[in-house]
Chain A
């Protein structure tokens, strides 16, 4: 979230799309209700189904799964056509005025300039800004952003980002939106008018928020859907403001923390980009990943990532202690050099190919979460070993018992499976990082039962044993294992408060802040990332979390309920990264002169007397940068401004989001039928990676989701949850059910090119037939909570099939998220 849960109460307008917060985030959803009750905020819900969220919306539109960019692009077109944009914000806080290089081509035919059909990749050299003064970089130099960007503040230059954007989305007419999304033109216009009404007649006081979840990410163009939302919010001037922002609702209690601490293959903690084999040494790595500022000459840019080396050296000191020194290049050789993609679907593909030999599965059920679960089951059959740490026997650790495997076949599965008894969430202390970026400490409610152990104890004991083996037997490269810093009071069971302190970081020598002359003595906890150094005098496990556990104490454990501003900031409740800022980019909540757009919702402002930024929230900005210096509020971008156009390698599939069809689609893309899908989509070539077409009979669009009453694949082991929803079902439009003679409660079989799913039919009017590009299209929905282990499953009361047997392992090229929404199936009576 750029903002936070509580901040939703400050909004005037909500667009909830790609998420069903009433269903999946019922507690956080109270703030959306609060906005309705206290501010008369309007709520627009756009979803393939009439959901629990839709039940309390002011306006609901049923969209075809996967048509989100067409809808949002249409709203952008509407906002531009009707002057429903924040002009001052647009000119000064976004790259609307920047000029784009000659030779850049918009994707009228579905392809941007630079596409190489043979490798299915883009050469992105034309996806760049024009250098002011006609400066030219050497032809063989790797493309980089020009330090001095040409711009036109009048936004009239035909190659200005603004004009290109306008041209690009001029194709997203209400008629085109209707053809692609299935939303009738009049309904679309009603929604576009309502959402953009906050900027009617030049009003800059109101704020609108966009709220989404995995309904947007789980597409082969998921990252671009979210970008479209971000662009719309930049156009309307809603980012950085109370009641505004682009707000991702995270689906697990700590998924934000998992990402922050690098639960993804291509980053290190704090979103540092991993080294790759081209980085010959630490300096080369830093040069590649540290951006240099790129802005109009008259403007200023803080370019906060210019501090990358401070974050990286402090991380190396935290991980390797004295073994990371300047003279050994900060132990750069210890870091793995990531040579290619190692994303989720990729790991399973390599295991299926026999290349990945073992898997440690903690806190996730790889078979059930799919995609293409049968491939995951078959991949595990080829692994040498599997270790699963869980609180229940799950589908993954029982893969060898999955339906269809005979006793004879079981005997031939060589995989050695270890089940480790884990501890449940209430049995552990530590932090959750919530969607609002708060690090919130929690205390254990009760000890783990029986032989169950805490995660950190299990991991520590595995690590220490591996290290012992390396000590004893040596190995190809034992140094990173032997030299890993492991200085916990109980090495076999590190206390998480010690780990949290380590992540915050401490001074290794006395460190002075040049601005305030504040001195942090060697050994003291660091008060914030401004103190991080690239000379080895500080250690910090995650720069973003620096400030969470300081000499002042465990700020992440705070429970202060004071809210002086009434904006729901609660500055003394837990701790929010970065530096306890509750709304990111909050400089943008003020006009050019540093005055809040809405005086009633003042977050930060420029104090002329003190010559400083001050406010109710912590300014997310250089505190002494005067408004006349024109420093951009988006300090993490080298441009200092928000990106309507993403230059160079920012996005794999284009500087502006373009509507592509889901990989399996009932129609050819009406914008460019010859380039229907995302041209740089990631897919796999195994015999189990099959795709279906309407011609083969796969004509129904299928989407998957969760229910309030269940949590993934765990609660089917809890009688309370099972009582509330005892069996999984397939939601089927009444019209389709009538055509097929299916009645509610009857068993149905859903088939995709990859697998079959069995469940009872829930015949409903909450999903209606749609007309997509002139064709009648039905959508169905499948809650994902069924598996082959659980109370009902074990008693044989429900079909033991998994929803993800249906879904395809085809992924977004930026975030590598699979397309769990909007694939093709057929449905019949079982």
Chain B
């Protein structure tokens, strides 16, 4: 699917104009994950790894089919496996593809203080630009889905790019291409919503999943990755998908109405440092301690 070249809509920590802020696009892109037809084959995990050129890692057995407990800075896509026993004893084995949700109202971007480290394209993709990342990990705090992961060596944060490099070139994300059952779909948000709603109606009419529904949480303005769940009222059963995700209040306040507080604090800090210097002069290094660093 071609969506034309990427156009930036929002930039983290950026005071100046944003080229695509008021531009209107034909459509937003969206990934639909129909959890009710996912077989947990992990083809998406492998495709993601291969497209992004990340190395294979050592994993350990952990009493589950799940590859590892959580996403990693170089592992953007993980199927979460959960066994659930209903009140009537019926067992279900839930397999949910976990990755960045590409929120319309991205908490990571809001929290990020580094100019240009996180951008949101007008097609909805939220992308990290590691060359501008300062490693403060505020984005980790800002994300209600626990997605961004910190690389301790490079001090940069990484996450799923929704294959912005592929999508920008008119291709679908690598995970979509690899999915063998067609439980992954990619298209405009409107189309994906409609596809998801159609599937939900089918589940209501022709399956025992009378409480099936679409997961597109309003608390973050909707997402560009949406799920069809067997039970929309219990997303937390699917590897802890939050029921009503919100950008943490502190992040909202801090980057919104209380931003002036921060600015005052910064100014006060600078004044304080200057005063300190004038009053006490430069700080002299004490004699270095010998031996092993702690």
- Are B92 and A34 closer than 8 Å at their CB atoms? no
Indicate with 1 or 0, residue by residue over A755-793, a CB within 8 angstroms of chain B CB atoms.
Answer: 000001111111000000000000000000000000000
- Are B42 and A37 closer than 8 Å at their CB atoms? no
- Are A37 and B202 closer than 8 Å at their CB atoms? yes
Which B88-120 residues have a C-beta within 8 angstroms of A? 91-95
B180 within 8 A of A: yes
Contacts of B171 in A (CB 8 A): none
Contacts of B42 in A (CB 8 A): 708-709, 724
Would A40 and B180 be within 8 Å (CB), given that A22-B41, A55-B95 are in contact?
no
Contacts of A745 in B (CB 8 A): 61-63
Which B44-84 residues have a C-beta within 8 angstroms of A? 45-46, 49, 56-65, 67, 83
Bound-state Cα–Cα, A26 to B37, Å: 12
Which A702-757 residues have a C-beta within 8 angstroms of B? 708-709, 719-720, 722-727, 729, 744-745
- Are B93 and A54 closer than 8 Å at their CB atoms? yes
Would A58 and B43 be within 8 Å (CB), given that A27-B180, A33-B183 are in contact?
no
- Identify which of A709, A729, A765 contacts B83 (C-beta below 8 A): A765
Indicate with 1 or 0, residue by residue over A521-538, a CB within 8 angstroms of chain B CB atoms.
Answer: 000000000000000000
Q: Separation in Å of the B294 CB from the closest CB of chain A?
A: 33
A30 within 8 A of B: yes
Bound-state Cα–Cα, A752 to B130, Å: 55
Q: Separation in Å of the B93 CB from the closest CB of chain A?
A: 4
- Most interface-central of A58, A723, A766 (chain B CB within 10 A): A723
Chain A residue, CB-CB nearest to B90 = A60
Bound-state Cα–Cα, A26 to B181, Å: 7
Interface size on A, residues (CB 8 A): 39
B148 within 8 A of A: no
Chain B residue, CB-CB nearest to A38 = B202
- Are A29 and B39 closer than 8 Å at their CB atoms? yes
- Identify which of A58, A708, A762 contacts B41 (C-beta below 8 A): A708
- Are A723 and B92 closer than 8 Å at their CB atoms? no
Contacts of B41 in A (CB 8 A): 22-23, 26, 52, 708
Chain B residue, CB-CB nearest to A745 = B63
Which B134-181 residues have a C-beta within 8 angstroms of A? 180-181
- Identify which of B39, B199, B202 contacts A56 (C-beta below 8 A): B39
Q: Separation in Å of the A740 CB from the closest CB of chain B?
A: 15
B40 within 8 A of A: yes
Q: Separation in Å of the A768 CB from the closest CB of chain B?
A: 8
- Identify which of A22, A55, A761 contacts B92 (C-beta below 8 A): A55
Bound-state Cα–Cα, A23 to B41, Å: 7
Contacts of A77 in B (CB 8 A): none
B36 within 8 A of A: yes
A548 within 8 A of B: no
A172 within 8 A of B: no
- Are A55 and B93 closer than 8 Å at their CB atoms? yes
Bound-state Cα–Cα, A644 to B61, Å: 48
Chain B residue, CB-CB nearest to A53 = B39
Interface of B, helix, strand, loop or mixed by DSSP: loop
- Identify which of A36, A58, A763, A766 contacts B91 (C-beta below 8 A): A766
Which A461-495 residues have a C-beta within 8 angstroms of B? none
- Most interface-central of A53, A724, A760, A765 (chain B CB within 10 A): A724
Interface size on B, residues (CB 8 A): 39
Contacts of A37 in B (CB 8 A): 37, 182, 199, 202
Contacts of B56 in A (CB 8 A): 719-720, 722-723
Bound-state Cα–Cα, A206 to B56, Å: 48
Contacts of A723 in B (CB 8 A): 56-59, 67
- Are B207 and A22 closer than 8 Å at their CB atoms? no
Contacts of B180 in A (CB 8 A): 26-27, 29-30
Contacts of A52 in B (CB 8 A): 39-41, 93, 95
Contacts of B62 in A (CB 8 A): 744-745
- Are B83 and A40 closer than 8 Å at their CB atoms? no
- Are B61 and A727 closer than 8 Å at their CB atoms? yes
- Are A726 and B60 closer than 8 Å at their CB atoms? yes
- Identify which of A55, A761, A764 contacts B40 (C-beta below 8 A): A55
Contacts of A40 in B (CB 8 A): 202, 205-206
- Are A727 and B63 closer than 8 Å at their CB atoms? no
A50 within 8 A of B: yes
B85 within 8 A of A: yes
Bound-state Cα–Cα, A766 to B85, Å: 10
- Identify which of B37, B40, B43, B64 contacts A33 (C-beta below 8 A): B37
Would A55 and B61 be within 8 Å (CB), given that A37-B202, A40-B202 are in contact?
no
Contacts of A34 in B (CB 8 A): 182
Chain A residue, CB-CB nearest to B37 = A33
- Are A724 and B91 closer than 8 Å at their CB atoms? no
Contacts of B92 in A (CB 8 A): 55
Contacts of A720 in B (CB 8 A): 46, 49, 56
B263 within 8 A of A: no
Contacts of A709 in B (CB 8 A): 42
Would A33 and B91 be within 8 Å (CB), given that A719-B56, A723-B56 are in contact?
no
Which A22-52 residues have a C-beta within 8 angstroms of B? 22-23, 26-27, 29-30, 33-34, 36-37, 40, 50, 52
Q: Separation in Å of the A69 CB from the closest CB of chain B?
A: 26
Q: Separation in Å of the A285 CB from the closest CB of chain B?
A: 46
- Most interface-central of A30, A55, A709 (chain B CB within 10 A): A55
Q: Separation in Å of the A746 CB from the closest CB of chain B?
A: 9
- Are A726 and B58 closer than 8 Å at their CB atoms? yes
Contacts of A766 in B (CB 8 A): 83, 91, 93
Contacts of B205 in A (CB 8 A): 40
Chain B residue, CB-CB nearest to A798 = B61
Bound-state Cα–Cα, A55 to B35, Å: 10
- Are B181 and A29 closer than 8 Å at their CB atoms? yes
Chain B residue, CB-CB nearest to A28 = B180
Bound-state Cα–Cα, A55 to B79, Å: 14
Contacts of B64 in A (CB 8 A): 762
Contacts of A724 in B (CB 8 A): 42, 45-46, 59, 67
Q: Separation in Å of the B101 CB from the closest CB of chain A?
A: 23
Q: Separation in Å of the B53 CB from the closest CB of chain A?
A: 13
B24 within 8 A of A: no
B289 within 8 A of A: no
Bound-state Cα–Cα, A22 to B182, Å: 13
12 additional A-B residue pairs with CB within 8 Å, beyond A29-B39, A763-B63: A30-B182, A40-B202, A40-B206, A52-B93, A56-B39, A60-B91, A724-B42, A725-B65, A726-B60, A729-B61, A760-B61, A766-B91
10 of the cross-chain contacts (CB-CB < 8 Å) are A30-B181, A40-B206, A50-B93, A55-B93, A56-B37, A58-B208, A708-B40, A708-B41, A724-B46, A761-B63
The interface of chain A, by Cβ under 8 A from chain B, is 22-23, 26-27, 29-30, 33-34, 36-37, 40, 50, 52-56, 58, 60, 708-709, 719-720, 722-727, 729, 744-745, 760-766
Considering the complex of A and B, which 5 residue pairs feature the smallest CB-CB distances, nearest first?
A744-B63, A22-B39, A719-B56, A727-B61, A55-B93
